Chains A and B, each alone.
Chain A
Amino acid sequence: MLERDSALVENAIKEYYFNHFDLVRIPPKPAQREFGYQKINGGMTRHISIKDVKELHLLLMRETPSDVYCSNAYYSFPSMPMSEKDWQGADLIFDIDAKDLALPCRKDHAVSRCGSCGTVFPGSRPLCTSCGSPKHETVSVTCRDCIGESKKEVKKLVGLLVEDLGIREEEVEVYFSGNEGFHVRVTNRDYEQLESQERADLVDYIMFNGAIPETFGMKRQSSSRSELPEMGEAGWRGRVATTLFGSKSRAPKASRQVLAEGYSAFQEKLEGMRQTLGARVDPKVTMDIHRIFRLEGTINSKSGLAKTRCADLDGFDPFSEACLLGDEKVEVVASSPAVIRLKNKKYGPYENERISVPKYAAVYMICKGLASTV
């Protein structure tokens, strides 16, 4: 990022932490967590321990970090090197990223930015339209449909956590990630001790990965109707029954058909259900028991939006509720083939245009590499 751009972004962030520090929240047991932060154009500083909110406030004011993280794990010695920290447990965390959903709308709001000359062009082409360089990064602008679909995944996830895994709703916290997805944190004593492999199997449960027909009473030879799942059963058997039969009255007929179609047809059905019923989370995040995870209420430097708690997920509008930077006008030169929506206002498309926009919009575009200060 250019110096004058980073100065603008840093100022906006500093102002945010000055005015809205109350929105920054540390999870329980702060003194046992590892904190970390990044500065614009800087590397990651990790293995920091912070005892309370006050200390965190000081750090934010002193360093103006572009991104702030906190471990999901608790340690005896959070500031020691990893091997000496003495892991005590970790919250269960989940990451749902619209990017992983690969929705068809993606091509309309993802643009390419040349790594050599910075030119922005729509879609993805092998070579830069202005300098011919093959290096480019994909930049995606947060999209309403992507957010909507991600919310559906969050609901599937929360449903599974509550119904199947016995986690109480109060123990589940849902956050907008600050860019293109959602984070979920579970604080439940039963699960905090799980290690990486165990979490991996838990993720497979949530994603409905690795289910075999036998679990649902379907065998290679001689399956019987009595072993097929019934509607109303708990867990995946119940969900599979609902998907297969639709209603109790259709069950006898539908189950005969399922048996007649046989084992491999059933396997294919399970695969289909994996894609529709499984919650699409990023397994790597949940498996990582030493991860530092974006802190609630802090700014995400990929967008200038804040990681925000969603008390009411359905009604949550990230484009206004997470857009919290200042609004005085700033002049920038913008080139964005995609339209940006923030606080119920449209920005763009722009073709190398000099515009005057609220600071939050300017920061958003600068963070995405679609604008620069003049």
Chain B
Amino acid sequence: MKRCVLQPGIMDLAKYPFLAEAGEYLRDKGFNLEQLGHPDWAPLVEKAYGRIVVASSGQVYHPEGGRLENPDMEILSFIVAVILLKAAGINTLTRRFSLAEARRAERFLQQDLWANKDKKNLDLPLKIISELFGIRVHVEDDEFVIKVADYLQRAVHFHEKEWKLVNRRVGAGLVHLTSHETVRLIRTELGQYISARIQSISLPPIPDTFKSRVGDLVTLAGRFADAPVVSSDYPPCVKHAIEVLEKGENLPHSGRFLLATYLLARGQTADQIAPLFKNAPDYNERITRYQLEHISGSSGRGTKYQCPSCDKLRSESLCFKVPECDGIINPIQFGRKRGTANA
């Protein structure tokens, strides 16, 4: 692991507990694992476990009240969570945890960029980005700028038209971004960085007080077995909608409608589909289920909604046509033999 020269303060470590400095800080303060095994620390283990549970459901952990009132607890609960995950040894959990922690850090990173953009303390967020991901971000007239090549290497993974280079402000080899966009661009790498950090840590012998929660994690992971089947033969528009949700971004109503009607038409049930929406920032299980049932015609007046046409989706900028889409007018037809179109 690369050594950082960030010199973060304790509040910074509470926001970014995956930085190598977090471990040093705890060591300096004299914490060790043996101590944390003392029953007095049970609330910490619970907090750490909670952090994983929240992440596994696709949501982002926030301390109660949304404030970092007890930075030591924030840092410690992250470290203990990592130890629990290492002990459980289940990759899907680690992946979900890394992604959720990346999104948590992303919010802070964005706030730090935004709040400090005319001040000196911009150093830390910019340093994190450059030390960890090798991207130099500069501030220019209230905007953030990065090199075109750095931009392209990340933005090609996004399908939305607005991320195409042609739809960005480009000049003198630099792309102009908002703080939100800057951070968005490195989300995947942040997740990968965190998961690499977790991989790199060697598991110490764990205190007995941790063991029951490790067992609970194994049980928890078992529940992912009934996740919806995401098939590679879905049309690009549907794949895109799923990706947006998986990244925890907001998918407009029309996109959710497409996803629901498409998957229902392909024979999936509302129960199977609902978990897909879990990562949405405004997820509410009851409402989602109600809407899905409404769309499927199994509740209310019983009208069954059809999957929208390619034309409609195109006008809503939800179409990401590929050559295999030629000749079809509805995503349902994707990958199937073309039917006779005339009545």
Chain B binds chain A: yes
Q: A163-B171, A166-B174, A214-B162 are known contacts; what are 12 more A-B pairs with Cβ within 8 Å?
A: A163-B172, A164-B170, A164-B173, A166-B173, A190-B149, A194-B149, A198-B156, A202-B165, A212-B167, A212-B317, A215-B167, A234-B170
A66 shortest CB reach to chain B, Å: 35
Interface string of B74-96 (1 = CB under 8 A from A): 00000000000000000000000
| 27 A-B residue pairs with CB within 8 Å | A164-B171, A165-B173, A166-B172, A166-B174, A190-B149, A190-B173, A191-B148, A193-B153, A194-B149, A195-B153, A201-B152, A201-B155, A202-B152, A202-B165, A204-B166, A205-B165, A205-B170, A209-B166, A210-B167, A212-B161, A212-B162, A214-B162, A215-B166, A234-B170, A234-B171, A235-B169, A235-B170
* A208-B166, A210-B161 known; A201+B156 contact, CB < 8 A: yes
Cα–Cα distance between A215 and B149 once the two chains are bound (Å): 20
For chain A, the count of residues having a C-beta within 8 Å of the partner chain is: 29
CB distance from A1 to the nearest CB of B (A): 36
> Judging by beta carbons under 8 Å apart, are A215 and B155 in contact?
no
Residues of B within 8 A of A (CB): 147-149, 152-153, 155-156, 161-162, 164-174, 317
Complex CA gap A98/B153 in Å reads: 31
User: How many Å lie between the Cα of A165 and that of B152 in the bound state?
Assistant: 12
User: What 4 A-B pairs come out closest when comparing CB atoms?
Assistant: A166-B173, A234-B171, A198-B152, A215-B167
- B residues near A211, Cβ cutoff 8 Å: 166-167
Counting CB contacts under 8 A, is A121 at the interface? no
- Given A166-B148, A194-B152, answer yes or no on A201-B164 (Cβ-Cβ < 8 Å): yes
Q: Is A365 an interface residue (CB 8 A)?
A: no
Q: Interface 1/0s, chain A 199-227, versus B by CB < 8 A?
A: 01110110011111011000000000000
B164 close to A204 (CB less than 8 A)? yes
Which of A193, A205, A209 has the most chain B CB within a 10 Å cutoff?
Answer: A205
Is A94 interfacial (CB 8 A cutoff)?
no
Q: Would you give the shortest CB distance from A203 to chain B, in whole angstroms?
A: 10
CB distance from A10 to the nearest CB of B (A): 42
A235 touches B149 (CB 8 A): no
Determine the chain A residues whose CB is within 8 A of the CB of B166 once the complex forms. 204-205, 208-211, 215, 236
**Interface residue? A237 (CB, 8 A):** yes
Interface centre among A163, A195, A209, A215 (most CB of B within 10 A): A215
